[in-house]
Chains A and B, each alone.
Chain A
Amino acid sequence: MKKSLLIQGGKIIDPSQGIEAIGNLLISEGKVSWRGKGEETPPHADYDTLNAKGLVVCPGIIDLHCHLRQPGDEEKETIASGTSAAARGGFTTICCMPNTNPPLDNQTAVEFIKSKSASEGVVRVLPIGCISKGRKGKELAEMGELASAGVIAFSDDGEPVLSSYLMRQALDYSHAFDLPIIDHCEDKTLTEGGQMNEGVISTRLGLRGIPNAAEEIMVARDLALAQLTGGRLHIAHVSTEGSVELIRRAKEKGIKVTAEVTPHHLTLTEEKILGYDTNAKVNPPLRTKRDIKALIQGLKDNTIDIIATDHAPHTEADKLCEFDLAPFGISGFETALGSLMSLVHGGELSLVTLINKLTHEPAKIIGNRYGSLGTLVTGAPADVTILDPNLEWVVEPKAFASKGRNTPLTGERFRGRVMATIYQGKLVYKDDSIKVKES
């Protein structure tokens, strides 16, 4: 089983090294061990070969924001099912949010995640710790303990940090550990009872709206606090044009902020909710074409650093109810790349930029404590994603590995699909058409 694997003839795209060329990549003992151009073959001949002709080979993509539901809501997802789904989606590293039950606000909880991931996980799971004790938004969690336990960031996601005072303390205190504070930006006094974006469609459907301003107010507040404290701020799931503008200006001023956007906010508008499809109900909500345009521009000019799925699985029964009563969330691992490729095929985003936003940029935010992620430099962990940028396929939630089938994309035709995922040198997902030839 310890044989090397040569990925041959694919187009290697590694933004961390500025590489975009047909080549061959050798993986040995869980690490990238050699890379060659064109017809070059590795020095010693004992390896299996994976024919990647016509395919794109890039560093294993990274998801900085997902919900694995374990412990507490295992009927929605477990680490086992979630990581399988992630692997099918091409992800080799995923960062799970701490809004579990019990929440990840102490060392024991984090240890649980780590050990479960080690024994049942199919890809790398990195935990995010709570900002506040119990996610109650009142007192700081023991960030020091969480940091030594191995969290890569702090967040109360699901909820915003409502108290500006607490947010300030969090940004200040986390400074010592050089870990970012991820905020879910939402002014809850404006969004209470809100179901979807506030606008023409919400008026038509008779649903209470969630206005853009609710997000922008918290983004502005957090940016001011980041400036005040010099702490590392990361804005989760940016969804509005106004938020993008605020972050852009903050970066110009040198404020230490990074930001993420989800595949659904880049490709779907509020019109998906016509007909009351609860699978399109997500927070922050799907917005308008105008917002999408600004988000794509934000990606291109680096106002938005990364793409993260905010994978939020729910059971079928959870979503099979009145719109008002359905929980927010879209199951995103297995449709992420397919939907993002529509932006590439539509000429709005280059493939290199897309891969950058899924590999090198998130790796920068995570840092080095788990090794060199998001890169195919020799010696880095052998996390590789192999995709066919042109293969057409239809989204069929029944085929998902995730327990969450809640996607508004059922029946959607995509062009571009993950064909294989390699985690630490092991093939953790492979489409049937991919053949590995023994040496």
Chain B
Amino acid sequence: MRTTQVKPKVPETTVWQHHHILDIDDFTREEIELVFHTTKAMKEVLSRPIKRVPTLRGKTLINLFYEPSTRTRLSFELAAKYLSADVANLNASVSSVAKGESLVDTLGTLQALGADIVVMRHPHSGAPYIAARHIEASIVNAGDGWHAHPTQALLDLYTIYEHKQNLKGLKAVIIGDIMHSRVARSNMWGLTTMGVEVTLCCPPTLLPLGLGPIGLDNKELPPVKIEPNIELALDGADMVMTLRLQRERQKSGLLPSIREYINLYQLTEARLAQAKPDALVFHPGPVNEGVEISPAVAHGKQSVINEQVANGVAVRMALLYLLSGSQKQ
């Protein structure tokens, strides 16, 4: 394509108000669309032979990861580097944090070191909110406990957007350990904001209290359908998201066995056939092939798992661009 249309309706400047990216529950639909739009531009940068723009030159991004994570950290690191930012990584397990330095003290250190953006992954829900109160830098939540993983939700949404353009009215099914999943929570928020109908499918012991359709006692939570039977849940679905099942769920007594989970909830080709023929299959990774998803489906033509990863870098570049500069609110 040699020429692109100029769309007069796209505004010249954004009204991006977020100084931090803590959760997707406070993003409006317009903001999510802005992220899509910016991601497209970033994907173009990634298609060039030299994947680099000077946008964040002189800015320092520090990855503060209290939980091991190769993929997400790499994704943020590359996103920042492609934007010409300086990047440093702090792995909590090998630094003074292991010696007992508190979160707030660590943030003070990062502030003193000149961090402009801190990307944080932490095993305790809410840690980035506490961080945001004690540092001037922007905080990007790369996953906090069970609570949220906003950048994952945004890259998942972008992936569907690339395929379907209009999300309103689509049907999404999320299968797996909803209780402990920040990916599920953030996706629930993101999908419902964009007008997608969300169904949760999981064993009742892995479903937290309070989730249900509008009208139920849940003004604090997005409206979703609950369907514990996987075949019924998948009926007519446009997208299927499978979540990683951790083996310790069985150890803590929430499931009788992994075997039974596989029997009842594994996404197999036969089950996937209940969904629409062009339904997309998602997984936030890393994939437990043979547990929550069969290898055939994971590598099948409906799987967009690798696209999610690719889009992850572009989405994170878009978010870093939108966050950069401008004073703290």
Contacts and interface: CB of A to CB of B under 8 A. Distances in A.
* Size band of the interface chain A makes with B: 20 to 34
B211 A322 contact: no
Interface of B is mostly: loop
Contacts of B220: 200-201, 203-204
B203 to A, nearest CB: 16
Nearest to B128: A276
Contact of A205 (B103, B125, B130, B211): B125
Residue of A206, A209, A321 ringed by the most chain B CB atoms within 10 A? A206
Nearest to A192: B252
Interface in B129-155: 129-130, 144-148
Interface string B186-223: 00000000000000000000001111000001111100
Given A320-B104, A321-B102, A322-B103, A202 B127 contact: no
Nearest to B134: A320
B209 A209 contact: yes
B249 to A, nearest CB: 14
Interface string B252-266: 000000000000000
A276 B209 contact: no
A194 interface: no
Nearest to A209: B209
A195 B157 CA distance: 31
A199 interface: yes
Contacts of B219: 200
B37 interface: no
Nearest to A273: B126
B209 A324 contact: no
A321 B210 CA distance: 27
Contact of A322 (B122, B185, B208): B122
Residue of B124, B127, B148, B219 ringed by the most chain A CB atoms within 10 A? B124
A200 B224 CA distance: 13
A260 interface: no
Contacts of A321: 102-104, 130
Given A276-B126, A321-B103, A323-B124, A206 B210 contact: no
A127 to B, nearest CB: 34
B182 interface: yes
Interface in A196-251: 198-207, 209
B209 A199 contact: yes
A198 B221 CA distance: 14
Contacts of A320: 102, 104, 130
Nearest to A197: B209
A206 B103 contact: no
A273 B305 CA distance: 36
B230 to A, nearest CB: 22
Nearest to A325: B124
Interface in A149-200: 198-200
Contacts of A202: 208-210
A111 to B, nearest CB: 37
Residue of A202, A204, A323 ringed by the most chain B CB atoms within 10 A? A204
A346 interface: no
B252 to A, nearest CB: 10
A319 to B, nearest CB: 10
Closest 4 CB pairs of A and B: A206-B147, A276-B126, A206-B146, A200-B210
Interface of A: 198-207, 209, 275-276, 278, 317, 320-325
15 contacts: A198-B209, A199-B209, A200-B217, A201-B210, A203-B221, A206-B148, A275-B129, A276-B130, A317-B102, A320-B130, A322-B103, A322-B124, A323-B124, A323-B125, A323-B130
